[in-house]
Chains A and B, each alone.
Chain A
Amino acid sequence: AQSVTQLGSHVSVSEGALVLLRCNYSSSVPPYLFWYVQYPNQGLQLLLKYTSAATLVKGINGFEAEFKKSETSFHLTKPSAHMSDAAEYFCAVSIAGRRALTFGSGTRLQVQP
């Protein structure tokens, strides 16, 4: 069975600072990995996904994530935080045998002016 762990339920950064949201996964087979963002009272929007092509994945809004098999990690980064980045971020994994996503518990990002 696959699982996802997001370290840090709340992360606070200053505007313009580096954003780093951590995600570790567990899967017995090669996974597909996703980062979604959720704004208040809205559904989830895809930021980026890893599907076994390049290990460094670029997404929307300046975010990127690097797949590290040896560390079973897929951390999300953004060089410079913007106020509009404040939201809940979810890491998720799916495998070939079960296409439904397994989500982490989420990380709430706060951006301070």
Chain B
Amino acid sequence: EAGVVQSPRYKIIEKKQPVAFWCNPISGHNTLYWYLQNLGQGPELLIRYENEEAVDDSQLPKDRFSAERLKGVDSTLKIQPAELGDSAVYLCASSLMAVGETQYFGPGTRLLVL
């Protein structure tokens, strides 16, 4: 069974440029998460989807970040414009919808903003 797929794996951009990350969850997983992981820290939730609906986006900086999950499968996270402080690893995870279900993580996208 294929795991969570993310692309690109690495991205280097200049500040003020836009950037987008893509995630394909495990087949059949209706819940999808985007986490932000700063260097030396644990991941922090940005947004959680159940099917197409964003049900927890309280930690998403909505002035520059946006996300979508069309058709309840793949998801895209966008930053526009990027700032130096956005340099981090962006992790996507997926799970079944039941409480306590294991979240399976992708390899992440490492973003460097210059």
Contacts and interface: CB of A to CB of B under 8 A. Distances in A.
A97 to B, nearest CB: 9
Contact of A44 (B43, B99, B101): B43
B100 A44 contact: no
Place the interface of chain A in its size category.
20 to 34
Interface string B72-99: 0000000000000000000101010001
Contact of A43 (B31, B95, B106): B106
A101 B43 contact: yes
Contacts of B91: 43-44
Contacts of A41: 107, 110
A101 B93 CA distance: 11
Contact of A51 (B43, B100, B108): B100
A101 B105 CA distance: 12
A92 B42 contact: yes
Contacts of B56: 98, 100
B64 to A, nearest CB: 21
Given A43-B105, A44-B91, A105 B41 contact: yes
B102 interface: yes
Interface in A61-113: 90, 92, 94, 96, 98-106
B4 A43 contact: yes
A92 B91 CA distance: 15
A100 B101 CA distance: 10
Interface of A: 4, 9, 32, 34, 36, 41-46, 49, 51, 90, 92, 94, 96, 98-106
